[in-house]
């Protein structure tokens, strides 16, 4: 009888990563993994170390301690472009879009398709419009008109365009920086739906959030950060939404505060 094949290594993995800025320890001994077709949620309040972690994952800063691996092989990026060339795409909260430009123009911003050669080489506008429309439709994103300025879209629609753009340009790992933080319930639902579609297309997704109610339905594993340190990484079957929320919010601290408030009200 033959054994089951060995599981492929994670697309992306950190082992004991740390980062120091002068005398400030921004991140210490953080380990995490991201697998194809899965969502790893990183949760923490302001000051937890989420921004530093994003910068390490996206190649802005190298870790000062620990290892960064892709497909089981240690890597050291020279910058964000190097990480992007290896398939790690980061969608920040500001989205790096120009509001007055059309949807299709933003879709190809910095990576414009061309036609012709030499001095006759020019931007292939027809291809850009067509591909943007087709790729958005393939992700199930219903944009009324790709010629409309991207600034006229809702926050959820802009996030969805950014996700579709990363998928089209060959991302293997998609890092999303608080994509639902400034959105209402309905628009947040729109974004979560498209994140799930990116996952279902085989991408490994890193979903950075401070909202466990958005993270838990979507996530396959959860990394909790507090003051630059890891509180642990948990598979979904090993933690409930209530436990996740309690750890994230500091259950003991909230209980103590509740007692103080009750006494103050007497």
pLDDT at 264 over 70: no
Q: Measured between alpha carbons, how far is 206 from 236 in angstroms, rounded to an integer?
A: 15
Positive or negative CA dihedral for 186, 42, 225, 26?
Answer: negative
Looking at the whole model, is its pTM more than 0.75?
yes
Cβ-in-10-Å burial (0-12, 13-18, 19+) of 130 comes to middle
The residue-averaged pLDDT of 130-153 equals 88
pLDDT tens digits, one per residue of 229-244:
999 899 999 998 888 8
pLDDT at 7 over 50: yes
- Per-position DSSP letters for 92-142, written without gaps between them: -TTTT--TTSBHHHHHTTTS--EES-GGG-EE-HHHHHHHHHHHHHHTT--
pLDDT at 43 over 70: yes
Q: What is the DSSP letter of 170?
A: T
Q: Measured between alpha carbons, how far is 40 from 42 in angstroms, rounded to an integer?
A: 7
The residue-averaged pLDDT of 182-209 equals 89
Residues 6+ positions from 62 with CB-CB distance below 8 Å: 56, 68, 76, 77
Higher pLDDT, 56 or 144: 56
Positive or negative CA dihedral for 223, 175, 91, 192?
Answer: negative
Q: Measured between alpha carbons, how far is 39 from 61 in angstroms, rounded to an integer?
A: 23
pLDDT tens digits, one per residue of 45-102:
888 889 999 999 999 999 999 999 999 999 999 999 999 999 999 998 777 788 899 9
Identify the structural domains of the chain with CATH numbers, from first to last.
Answer: 12-241 (3.40.50.300)
Only one residue has tokens 């991207």, namely: 150
């Amino acid at each position: 009888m033959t054994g089951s094949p060995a599981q492929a290594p994670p697309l992306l993995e950190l082992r004991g990563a740390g980062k120091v800025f002068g005398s400030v320890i921004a991140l210490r001994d953080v380990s995490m993994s991201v697998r194809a077709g899965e969502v790893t949620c990183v949760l923490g309040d302001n000051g937890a170390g989420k921004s530093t972690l994003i910068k390490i994952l996206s190649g802005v800063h190298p870790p000062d301690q620990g290892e960064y691996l892709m497909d089981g092989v240690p890597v050291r990026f020279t910058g964000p472009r190097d990480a992007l060339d290896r398939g790690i795409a980061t969608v920040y909260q500001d989205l790096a879009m120009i509001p007055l430009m059309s949807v299709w123009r933003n879709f190809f911003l910095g990576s414009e398709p061309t036609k012709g050669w030499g001095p006759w080489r020019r931007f292939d506008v027809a291809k850009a419009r067509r591909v943007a429309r087709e790729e958005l439709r393939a992700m199930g994103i219903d944009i009324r008109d790709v010629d409309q300025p991207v600034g006229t879209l809702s926050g959820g629609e802009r996030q969805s365009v950014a996700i579709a753009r990363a998928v089209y340009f060959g991302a293997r790992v998609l890092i999303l920086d608080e994509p639902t933080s400034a959105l209402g319930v309905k628009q947040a639902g729109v974004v979560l739906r498209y994140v799930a579609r990116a996952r279902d297309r085989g991408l490994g997704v890193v979903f950075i959030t401070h909202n466990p109610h958005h993270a838990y339905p979507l996530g396959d594993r959860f990394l909790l950060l507090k003051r630059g340190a890891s509180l642990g990484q948990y598979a979904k079957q090993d933690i409930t939404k209530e436990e996740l929320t309690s750890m994230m919010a500091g259950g003991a601290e909230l209980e103590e505060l509740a007692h103080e408030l009750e006494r103050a009200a007497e």
